[in-house]
Amino acid sequence: MKSHEVDYEIIGDDMQIVEVELDPGEVVIAEAGAMNYMEDGIEGTARMGDGSEVGTGFLKNVMNAGMRALSGESLFVAHFENVSTGKRRVAFAAPYPGKILPIELSEYGGNLLCQKDAFLAAALGTRLSIAFNKRLGAGFFGGEGFILEKLSGDGRAFIHIGGTVVKKELRGETLRVDTGCLAAFTDTIDYDIERAGNLKSMLFGGEGLFLARLRGTGTVWLQSLPFSRLAERVVRSSMAGAGREKGEQGILNQFFGGR
């Protein structure tokens, strides 16, 4: 199925929104819960499938939804259709600080592999699936896990990347990356993991135990702020704050309790 052609505008800087303009009859699909607002004339429905395969049966849709659930995504995909007679807009918001990247899949061979939770929205006709990593080592120790999201088609897709985006073009070179900072790459890139130096470096270097090794010819997108790193800092800060508050309360109790 040929993808719908959708126009768009990205609004904001660090907490971005992508506003998609739909002609009458056009449809955009999105991750469940990503919609921010929509104009009158846009009709939203949750479906068990991305709609890329016309006439797909119920059992096939259930299987596809189950496969997506393995990567931690919702069983359902939201479909937004312009049922009016004029242009209408629907917007999707990024879940945490970072950038929304519009990617024309036809320019990258029609396939893109990305971290789970990266997919935000795409033109109808884009196929959402999962890709099992061929190497068990990369699956168990890589920051993206054993299962990656795979976007296929010839239309435009929108993915979200944490923090600042760095785009690298590899032409037979090898690039080593912190596993959590690898956000997306074309399927022409060979992906594996390796140890981060010797045992001393792995234990005390503070950079993690493994690095992602990318080799080949294609495009790689890196992120400066993986969500896991952001969440870790927030939890650490919260625990430190709670500890200080408990300590201060103990001092106050001791001081006033003795009077």
| Residue 172 phi, psi (nearest 5) | 90, -5
Residue 216 — φ and ψ, nearest 5°?
130, -155
Using the predicted structure, report yes or no on whether residue 139 has a pLDDT greater than 60.
Answer: no
At residue 60, the pLDDT reads: 56
Least confident of 23-32, 45-54, 64-73, 199-208: 199-208
* Contact predicate 16/10, CB 8 Å: yes
Cα–Cα nearest to 213, from 185, 247, 246, 255: 185
Task: Indicate if the pLDDT at residue 66 is higher than 60.
Answer: no
Q: What is the pLDDT of residue 129?
A: 86
The token duo for 119 is: 């997919």
Q: Do 26 and 68 touch, CB atoms closer than 8 A?
A: no
* Exposure string for 153-162, b = 16+ CB within 10 A, e = fewer: bbbbbbbbbb
Query: In this predicted structure, what is the pLDDT of residue 48?
Result: 78
Name the nearest CA neighbour of 212 among 233, 200, 195.
Answer: 195
Confidence at residue 173, expressed as pLDDT on a 0 to 100 scale? 95
pLDDT of residue 117: 82
pLDDT of residue 146: 57
* E strand or H helix that includes residue 76: none
The answer to whether 76 touches 20, Cβ cutoff 8 Å, is no
Rama region for 25: left / alpha / beta (φ>0; ψ in -120 to 50; rest) = left
Quote the pLDDT of residue 52.
Answer: 74
Nearest to 233 by CA among 41, 83, 79, 96: 96
Highest mean pLDDT among 32-41, 141-150, 227-236: 32-41
pTM of the model: 0.78
- Within 42-183, residue ranges assigned H as helices are 58-70, 136-141
pLDDT confidence bin for 202, thresholds 50/70/90: very low
Q: What is the mean pLDDT of residues 51-76?
A: 59
For position 174, what pLDDT does the model report? 95
pLDDT above 80: residue 228: no
Owner of token pair 């259930």: 62
What is the distance between the alpha carbons of residues 34 and 110, in angstroms, rounded to a whole number? Answer: 24
Residue 247 has pLDDT above 70, yes or no: no
CA distance 237 to 239: 5
CB contact at 8 A, 79 and 32: no
The fraction of the chain above a pLDDT of 70, given in percent, is: 68
Query: In degrees, to the nearest 5, what angle opens at C-alpha 63 toward C-alphas 112 and 143?
Result: 40
- What's the mean pLDDT in 174-196? 88
pLDDT at 45: 94
Give me the pLDDT at residue 3, please: 78
Distance separating alpha carbons of residues 176 and 198, to the nearest angstrom: 15
The model's confidence at residue 106, banded by pLDDT at 50, 70 and 90, is very high
Q: Which two tokens stand for residue 69?
A: 């659930």
H helix count then E strand count, the chain: 4, 17
Q: Is the pLDDT of residue 112 over 90?
A: yes
What pLDDT score does 101 carry? 96
Q: What is the mean pLDDT of the chain?
A: 80
pLDDT-derived band at 2, boundaries 50, 70, 90: confident
d(C-alpha 6, C-alpha 11), whole Å: 16
Higher pLDDT, 255 or 29: 29
Q: How high is the pLDDT of residue 51? A: 74
